[in-house]
């Protein structure tokens, strides 16, 4: 029986005893006993914290409670201890405290650590390879700092790792391929760094991966062919790299994918039609690549939930598929700066909640369907630099007041 439940039972039976328990537990003398307990069981943790403290400068005084003479380190700001057994540090949560300095190897002496959560500071230097000794580590979050150097290979010893979030640092070198050995990984967030090399193929097969965020790096090579083979995958953001090749068919067919942003790369080929027949995809941004063709299944899922389709600045030729009109949730359709030819299909005007439609800088011909001007939800309409003609309806005067150009 849990202690609390036992105490509650005892309380019902023995009101006087309960009163005593309450008095004892609120007695200040108890807290003076606690330090000797922690001192005994976890002096190594206390020393590790003091070592960590000595490496950081702390302009806001956030670590003032981290004092040599203070034995109750579980009460130090940002420190969380395990609540069973000996007091051991399980989490460090030091977000947005303007800490500067480097992470010392002695952090690895906190051998029960599951969470390092220190985003939005000015931590610099390399990640010490000793981090691999933290085999209980589940969450490593050092995002928005100034960390340099490479991600140490030893990271793969962190077999419990679920989240590695180090976005917006100056990390360089390659993504360690043995990161793929961390089979519990759910989130890899390394956007806005200087990572180079390829995306390790094993990453695509991580069984629990939900978020793969690698935008704004210098990654080359192709998107792992296995990416999307796991139904956990929800968000893939690889924008602003130099990736080549095409979109892996498995990724296009992935039944859990909600956000796919591959913009500003060197990807090409045909945009897989499966992307427009997905029961999960909400947002697709493939802008500024070299895609040459798109096709939309003529009988796509009736309830495709897709909201945003952004294909601006590719070299897509051919006509605008009439079946686009079947994407009834569509809010933005941005296909400017391509080589689209032919007419604007009337079906587009049937999309019920369309807000942004950009067809500018293409090679469209024919008449602008008059009903285009009567889509009441529209807030942006780009038609410029095509070979279109048609009468601008007189009602457009009022419409223009709501259009942003």
Ligand X SMILES: *[C@@H]1O[C@H](CO)[C@@H](O)[C@H](O)[C@H]1NC(C)=O
Q: Which residues contribute to the site for ligand X (CB under 6 A)?
A: 40-41, 156, 172-173, 178, 181, 196-197, 249-250, 253, 274, 277, 288, 290, 297-302, 313, 322-323, 325-326, 339, 341, 347, 363
Q: Give the nearer residue to ligand X in terms of CB position, either 52 or 247.
A: 247
Q: What are phi and psi of 108, to 5 degrees?
A: -75, -10
| Pairing verdict, β 163-165 and 187-189 | parallel
Give the bridge partners for 388, in sequence order: 366
- Asked if residues 312 and 293 have their Cβ atoms less than 8 Å apart, the reply is no
Q: Give the nearer residue to ligand X in terms of CB position, either 65 or 178.
A: 178
Q: Give the nearer residue to ligand X in terms of CB position, either 13 or 299.
A: 299
CB of 398 to ligand X, least distance (A): 29
Tokens 């003529």 -> residue:
298
Question: Which residue number places its CB atom closest to ligand X?
Answer: 297
Across 157-307, the runs of DSSP E, i.e. the strands, are: 163-165, 172-174, 187-189, 194-196, 211-213, 235-237, 259-261, 268-271, 283-285, 290-294
CB of 119 to ligand X, least distance (A): 24
Across 210-310, the runs of DSSP E, i.e. the strands, are: 211-213, 235-237, 259-261, 268-271, 283-285, 290-294, 308-310
CB of 266 to ligand X, least distance (A): 7
Q: Give the nearer residue to ligand X in terms of CB position, either 143 or 325.
A: 325
- Checking 295-298 for CB contacts under 8 A at 24+ apart, the result is 295/270, 295/271, 295/321, 296/321, 296/323, 296/324, 296/326, 296/327, 297/273, 297/323, 298/323
Q: Give the nearer residue to ligand X in terms of CB position, either 96 or 339.
A: 339
As a whole number of angstroms, the distance between CA 296 and CA 309 comes to: 12
CB of 247 to ligand X, least distance (A): 11
Q: Give the nearer residue to ligand X in terms of CB position, either 78 or 325.
A: 325
CB of 62 to ligand X, least distance (A): 31
As a whole number of angstroms, the distance between CA 18 and CA 13 comes to: 9
Reading phi first (left if > 0) and then psi (alpha if -120 to 50, else beta), residue 63 is in alpha
CB of 63 to ligand X, least distance (A): 26
- Distances 256 to 144, 163, 170, 304, 327 between C-alpha atoms, Å: 28, 19, 31, 13, 18
Q: Is the dihedral of CA 191, 193, 198, 200 positive or negative?
A: negative
CB of 297 to ligand X, least distance (A): 3
CB of 287 to ligand X, least distance (A): 7
CB of 359 to ligand X, least distance (A): 14
Tokens 């009834």 -> residue:
328
Q: Give the nearer residue to ligand X in terms of CB position, either 121 or 241.
A: 241
Q: Give the nearer residue to ligand X in terms of CB position, either 81 or 94.
A: 81
Q: Give the nearer residue to ligand X in terms of CB position, either 55 or 242.
A: 242
As a whole number of angstroms, the distance between CA 31 and CA 23 comes to: 13
Residue 275's closest CA among 289, 258, 288, 292?
258
């Amino acid at each position: 029986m849990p202690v609390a439940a036992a105490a509650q039972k005892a309380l019902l039976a023995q009101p006087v005893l309960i009163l005593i328990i309450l008095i004892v537990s609120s007695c200040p003398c108890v807290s003076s006993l606690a330090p000797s307990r922690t001192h005994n069981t976890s002096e190594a943790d206390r020393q590790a914290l003091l070592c960590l403290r000595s490496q950081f400068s702390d302009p806001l005084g956030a670590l003032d409670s981290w004092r040599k003479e203070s034995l109750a380190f579980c009460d130090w700001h940002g420190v969380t201890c395990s609540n069973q057994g000996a007091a051991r540090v399980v989490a460090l949560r030091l977000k947005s405290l303007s800490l500067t300095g480097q992470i010392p190897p002695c952090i690895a002496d906190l051998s029960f650590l599951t969470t390092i959560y220190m985003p939005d500071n000015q931590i610099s230097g390399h990640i010490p390879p000793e981090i691999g000794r933290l085999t209980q580590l589940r969450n490593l979050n050092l995002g928005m700092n100034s960390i340099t150097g490479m991600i140490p290979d030893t990271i793969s010893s962190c077999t419990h790792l679920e989240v590695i979030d180090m976005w917006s640092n100056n990390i360089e070198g390659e993504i360690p391929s043995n990161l793929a050995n961390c089979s519990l990984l759910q989130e890899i967030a390394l956007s806005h760094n200087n990572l180079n090399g390829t995306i390790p193929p094993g990453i695509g097969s991580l069984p629990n991966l939900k978020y793969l965020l690698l935008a704004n790096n210098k990654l080359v090579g192709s998107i792992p062919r296995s990416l999307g083979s796991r139904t956990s995958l929800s968000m893939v953001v690889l924008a602003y790299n130099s990736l080549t090749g095409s979109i892996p068919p498995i990724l296009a067919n992935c039944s859990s994918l909600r956000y796919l942003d591959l913009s500003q790369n060197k990807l090409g080929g045909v945009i897989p039609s499966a992307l427009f027949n997905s029961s999960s995809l909400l947002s697709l941004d493939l802008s500024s690549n070299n895609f040459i063709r798109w096709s939309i299944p003529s009988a796509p899922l009736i309830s495709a939930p897709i909201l945003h389709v952004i294909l601006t600045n590719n070299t897509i030729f051919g006509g605008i598929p009439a079946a686009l009109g079947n994407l009834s949730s569509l809010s933005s359709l941005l296909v400017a700066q391509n080589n689209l030819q032919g007419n604007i299909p009337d079906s587009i005007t049937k999309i019920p909640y369309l807000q942004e439609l950009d067809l500018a800088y293409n090679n469209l011909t024919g008449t602008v369907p008059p009903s285009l001007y009567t889509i009441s939800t529209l807030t942006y309409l780009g038609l410029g630099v095509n070979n279109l003609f048609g009468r601008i309806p007189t009602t457009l005067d009022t419409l223009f007041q709501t259009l942003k150009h």
